Every structure is written in C-alpha cells, then in structure tokens.
Amino acid sequence: MQYQQVCLEALAYTLPEERVTSDEIEARLAPLYTRLRLPAGRLELMTGIRERRFWPVGTLPSSQSIESCEKVIACSGIERSEIGALVHASVCRDHLEPATACRVHHALGLPAECQIFDMSNACLGILNGMLAVANMIELGQIRAGLVVGSEGSRQLVETTIDTLNRDLNLSRDDVKLAVASLTIGSASCAVLLVDRRLSRTQNRILAATARANTQFHHLCCSGQDEAVADGMSPLMRTDAERLLEAGIATGAETFTTFLADIGWQRDQIDRTFCHQVGSGHRKRMLDVLGLDAARDFTTLEVLGNTGSVALPITMAMAAEQGLLTAGDQVALLGIGSGINSLMIGVEWQHALVQAAESPAVEAESPAIAGAD
C-alpha cells in the first residue's frame, strides 16, 4: 500500500491517575504464590513491567476517547467540519451496539456527513483504523479523519487475580497462561490524519504492509464476547511462549515485504515503535529484524500492555519528548494476536501532541517538536 496524500497530523493521549505496580499485584496473589511457592518479583522480572494504570470503576471507553479526541482537535487547530471519518478502534467498547463511535461523534459535534464506525483487531485496531482513514483520504473521499481507542484493564486484571487465587487445582504451567493478563494497562490515544494540502506538519505516511498468519488464532483468546465495559468479568488465556515465537516470525516476514514496499534499508530507519508487550518480546523482535534497540522507544515499563493504544501512545510520548526530528524515517511495527502484523512507514517533520496531565509526562502540553 503506497500513499502520496496522507499526513499523520497530530496525536493525543489520556492516562488514568491510578497506578498499580507489579509488586502490588503479586501481594494480592499471595494465596497463589504461597501455595505454588512462587518467588516474589517474578512478574516484573518476566515482563519488564513495573506498573500499569486503571481507570476509575465504571469508566466507559467512549468517555476517555472523547477526551483524547478533544485534545487532538485542539492541538491540531483543525475545523470539525473538515473531519470526514471517525473510527473507534480499541478492543474495549461501551456496548455491543450501537457503535461506541456514535457517542464519541455526538459529543464531539462532528458533521452528520462524517462516516463513523467501530473497528476491532486486538492490538492492531488503531493501526488498522489509520489505514482505513488513510485510504479514504488518498482516494479524495475525505480531507481528514480521526482514529481513537481507549483500553481498560481493571476488570481483566482483577478477574484474573480472583480466579488464580480461588482455583486450587492450578499448576505452575496453568499460571503461565494467565501472566499476560496481569500485564494489561489502561490508556487512551487519538490520531488525526489529514490530506497533505491541509497539513501543518507534513508528516507523510508513505507506505504500509499487512500480513495475516491466522493458523495461530487460538494462542491468545478471551472467552465469549466480553467487550462490553460495564460489569464485564473477562478472562483470557495466552500461550505466551508460542505466541511470541509465531508473532515474531510473522513480523519478520512482514518486515521484509515492508522494506521492499517502502524502499528503505534497515539502517535508514531512524526510529521504531513496536507493540508494547514485554521486555523479552521487544528484545527478540528487534534482534530478529536486525534493528538497533537504541532507536526504539518503549512505554511498557510504566504503562504495561495497553492493547491497541500501546503503539500509537508510545509514538505520541516520544514525539512529546522531542525524540522525533525533521527528516526522520519512522517505522510503526505492529503485531497482534490472531496472528496479524501491520507496519507503517512515516516520513516525520513536525510534532503536534496534546498529552495527558500526568507526572509521567515531562514535556509541556501541547508540544511542538522536531521542527529544527
């Protein structure tokens, strides 16, 4: 997929105030740890995740998505009348129907002609949404579009803790299938794409490559549809070791095609952003792809795995901190359960980022970086 007319104009994110450390989760798992004689500190040691965040009880994904969208509209200066599409692309949504995008669209006061829909594809949802909007812009159907997602983790983590403590038949091998569920964090991120003739930044999306390897669709599964935010009690089983191996293999195949599609060499990539699963996954992926870890940026240590939000919010925070500069060739390297991989190449010029008001974010908000 090649693009000539699409710019990644602005990013915005919102974070919960409540922080939950891996040590706190292990303290709540004391009955399990005692019974199986598990050493303290293993959760952070295995994943590299020190903490993750939770929204307040009862928070709807749409509420946070509205906030993130308001921020991205404010920092971009775009007129709402120009926005021709809105995609809500997180795993979490308000209800089975109507689309969560409906409430977001109403609250933002977007035009009636604006196309709105939900899109879900595990951790790739926002990246898929970006391509859907990019295609509309490239075809001349719209001038600008919003992609947003808000992931919540409290219900999954708390249900997992309760289940692990109550089931006295679990073995150490059984516990391994639940570890990934304990890494999940909450966050919200919005991305604004525009026609380059409307752009203030000229951050051009150049190309994208997608690959599906669905023979591994069973390696990470929740129960039946548990996406409804209010009152859900989700559980998820993840064969993390096999998922890592199959995911990285799929990513490597995608990356080879991506380099050919965009016409880059590995050493021409100035900055990479990967899905934020864990430190071991990141290291293996960069090693296999032959990429320099010094050019990669992570948020997993303090945000955990925030699903579809993970990659775009990591890019937003890097831009906010001035780590993207004019002329950088940037690779978004997405891998999601299923297994699917999606990689997007961006030629960066300027940053427009509206951040959350959070102690974890040092740069001022909004930030305009990379202009020099």
Catalytically annotated residues: 97, 123
Strand ranges inside the chain, DSSP E: 6-14, 18-21, 51-54, 83-88, 115-118, 144-151, 187-195, 204-212, 220-222, 236-238, 271-274, 329-336, 340-347, 353-354
User: Of 344, 206, 346, 185, which is closest to residue 277 (Cα–Cα)?
Assistant: 185
Task: Tell me the CA distances in angstroms from 204 to 63, 88, 195, 292, 327, one per residue in order.
Answer: 30, 22, 9, 23, 11
CA-CA distance, 242 to 251, in Å (whole number)? 14
β-bridge pairing 187-195 and 6-14? antiparallel
Q: Are 25 and 165 in contact (CB under 8 A)?
A: no
State how far the alpha carbon of 68 is from the alpha carbons of 42, 46, 65, in Å.
34, 32, 5
Q: Report the distance separating Cα 317 and Cα 302, nearest Å.
A: 12
Q: At 116, list the tokens.
A: 């709105």
